[in-house]
Structure 1
Amino acid sequence: MTVELPQGRPGEEARSLEVRWIFPGQLETAVTGWFGRFPIETESREDWYLLDPRLPGLSVKIRGGRALEVKTYYGSPGNLEVAGRARGRLESWQKWSFPFSLPGDDRGCPAGWQPVHKWRRTSRFSLAGGQIVARASEPGQGPQCDVELTEVSTIGQDWWTLGFEASGPADLLRSTLEATARLVFDRHPPGAAEPGPDQSMSYQQWLTQRPDPKTEAC
Structure 2
Amino acid sequence: MLTTYELRWFYPGKAPEDIQHWFEQNCLVQPIQSPEAREDLYLYSPKCEFLGIKLRQDQLEIKWRKAELGVMSIGEFIEGKVEKWTKWLCQDPMEESSQLQEILSHPAWVSIKKVRYSQHYQVSSEFSLQPVSSKENIDNGCSVELTHLVISDRDWWSLAFEAFGDDARLLDNLQFTANSIFNTYEGSKLLAVDSYAYPIWLALACR
TM range (shorter): 0.7 to 0.9
Q: How does 1:1-218 map to 2 (within 5 A)?
A: 13-37=1-25, 38-39=28-29, 42-52=35-45, 55=48, 57-63=50-56, 65-100=57-92, 102-103=98-99, 106=102, 108-128=104-124, 129-190=126-187, 193-212=188-207
Q: 1:98 to 1:151 in 2, by over 3 A?
A: same
Q: TM-score, normalised by structure 2?
A: 0.86
Q: 1:104 to 1:71 in 2, by over 3 A?
A: closer
1:19 Cα offset (Å): 0.9
Equivalences, count = 197
Q: Higher mean Cα deviation, 14-23 or 75-84?
A: 75-84
In structure 1, C-alpha distance between the alignment counterparts of 2:86 and 2:192, rounded to whole Å: 23
- Higher helix proportion: 2
- The percent identity for this pair of structures is 26
Contact 1:132-1:176 within 8 A present in 2 as well:
no
Q: 1:110 to 1:31 in 2, by over 3 A?
A: same
Q: Which runs of 5+ in 1 are unaligned?
A: 1-12, 213-218
Counterpart of 1:9?
none
Q: TM-score, normalised by structure 1?
A: 0.82
1:105 Cα offset (Å): 5.6
Q: Which runs of 5+ in 2 are unaligned?
A: none
Question: Counterpart of 1:185 in 2: which secondary structure?
Answer: helix
Q: Higher mean Cα deviation, 52-61 or 194-203?
A: 52-61
The runs of 4+ residues in structure 1 deviating greater than 6 Å are none
Q: Which deviations, in whole Å up to 9, do the C-alpha atoms of 1:47-90 show, x marking residues without a partner?
A: 11111476452111112x32101111111122221111310000
Report the aligned-residue RMSD: 2.0
Contact 1:109-1:115 within 8 A present in 2 as well:
no
